[in-house]
């Protein structure tokens, strides 16, 4: 199903509603994979028939989208993790230099939390790496980067700056074009998700 979803995202024929649905479905798949080894704690529960031991997350989960494209992924992940808190990192890419420009940063407390940083595209890796810099400065320690499509150069840059932060992707493409877009990629995820 991952390859089917990625194909829907890539196709320029995919209509707005179908694009949004595919993005949300893939975000859930990537999010579940990223949550696989989150620490749990045992809690006593009472079923209708007897008492037993249940489990819940040992640390609070914080979902932090990189604005604006990451909002669609955050919305989908909140369906799976409804008790997660949400922060926001506002970054945009300077179209001449491709360098990230920061314009907003607001998070709940990050210490002793598990953090999912989400953005559909991991292209140059600069925005995600800068976002992690800001999150670590704010006390984040247990970070995971979730994206749908990454480019090998961006993944390598991100890993060189934050080797301690695992990356979860639905697809990995080989290259970037001269405008630093992932090829074949899917175009501008934010524009396609929001219909702009």
Alpha carbon 7 to its chain's center: 19
Q: What is the mean pLDDT of the chain?
A: 95
pTM of the complete model? 0.94
Choose the CATH number for 2-194 among 1.10.8.620, 3.40.50.2020, 3.90.420.10, 3.40.50.720. Answer: 3.40.50.2020
Residue-level pLDDT at 50: 95
Rounded to whole angstroms, the Cα distance separating 52 from 124 reads 48
Looking from the CA of 34 toward its CB, the CA atoms found within 13 Å total 30
Rounded to whole angstroms, the Cα distance separating 106 from 67 reads 11
Give the pLDDT confidence of 77-108 residue by residue, as tens digits.
999 999 999 999 999 888 788 788 899 999 99
Q: What is the mean pLDDT of residues 161-166?
A: 98
């Amino acid at each position: 199903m991952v390859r089917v979803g990625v194909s829907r995202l890539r196709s320029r024929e995919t209509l707005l509603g179908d694009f949004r649905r595919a993005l949300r479905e893939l975000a859930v798949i990537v999010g579940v994979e990223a949550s696989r080894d989150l620490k749990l704690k045992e809690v006593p529960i009472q079923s209708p028939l007897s008492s037993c031991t249940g489990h819940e997350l040992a640390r609070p989960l914080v979902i932090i989208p990189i604005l604006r494209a990451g909002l669609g992924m955050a919305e989908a992940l909140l369906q799976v993790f409804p008790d997660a808190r949400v922060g926001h990192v506002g970054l945009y890419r300077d179209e001449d230099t491709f360098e990230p420009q920061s314009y907003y940063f607001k998070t709940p407390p990050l210490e002793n939390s598990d953090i999912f940083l989400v953005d559909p595209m991991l292209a140059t890796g600069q925005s995600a790496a800068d976002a992690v810099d800001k999150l670590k400065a704010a006390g984040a320690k247990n970070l995971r980067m979730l994206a749908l499509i990454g480019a090998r150069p961006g993944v390598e840059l991100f890993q060189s700056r934050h080797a301690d932060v695992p990356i979860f992707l639905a697809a990995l493409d080989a290259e970037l074009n001269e405008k630093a877009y992932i090829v074949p990629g899917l175009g501008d995820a934010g524009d396609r998700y929001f219909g702009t």
